């Protein structure tokens, strides 16, 4: 009985960990089909920013928006902007909710829904741009997709 309980606990923990990578909401630009993005971790990006400069990348982290703030953080520590990536949305690249058709930028309430959440974002990385007041490690621009993971 103890072995079964241990097996069941391991199975539950494994499956619950997998759930964190399944998007609950997806926002994408309908014209972004056909582009390829290299999956990159924060560690890889910080170690080799020149390798990803002006390249299409996919990055996962915790997003925070607010007054003069739009950034992706490697963890839940939102006070470390020097390790965060500034997220620059482009007005000509609307991000539509794939279920509802609502544009992420139609109202501040819509984009506020993803603040503080873990997301997977696709865009182009620029190591020479450092976001608001030059406080960020780099910038992700031409964002074409956001997947909310939790």
User: What average pLDDT is seen over the chain?
Assistant: 83
Q: CB–CB of 39/147 below 8 Å?
A: no
The average pLDDT across 113-126 equals 94
Q: Per mean pLDDT, which range of 17-31, 39-53, 125-139 is the poorest?
A: 17-31
Which residues pair with residue 6 across a beta bridge? none
Better-scored residue on pLDDT, 3 or 121: 121
For the cut 80, the answer to whether the pLDDT of residue 22 exceeds it is no
DSSP, residue by residue, 101-140: --BTTS-HHHHHTTTTSEEEEEEEEESS---GGG-SSEEE
The average pLDDT across 39-66 equals 94
Residues 65-103 have pLDDT tens digits of 988 889 999 976 666 666 899 999 887 889 999 999 989
Domains of the chain: 24-148 (2.40.50)
Enter the pTM of the model: 0.81
| Tokens at 3, concatenated | 């072995």
């Amino acid at each position: 009985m103890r072995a079964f309980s241990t097996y069941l606990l391991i199975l539950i923990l494994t499956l619950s960990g997998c759930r964190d990578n399944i998007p609950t909401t997806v926002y994408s630009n309908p014209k972004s089909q056909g582009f390829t993005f290299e999956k990159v971790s924060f560690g890889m990006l910080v170690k080799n920013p020149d390798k990803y400069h002006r390249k299409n990348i996919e990055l996962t982290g915790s997003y925070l928006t607010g007054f003069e703030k739009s950034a992706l953080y490697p963890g839940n520590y939102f006070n470390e902007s020097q390790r965060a990536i500034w997220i620059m949305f482009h007005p000509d690249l609307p991000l539509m909710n794939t279920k509802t058709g609502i544009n992420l930028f139609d109202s501040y309430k819509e984009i506020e829904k993803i603040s503080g959440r873990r997301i997977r974002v696709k865009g182009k990385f620029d190591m020479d741009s450092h976001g608001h007041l030059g406080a960020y490690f780099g910038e992700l621009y031409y964002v074409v997709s956001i997947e909310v993971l939790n």
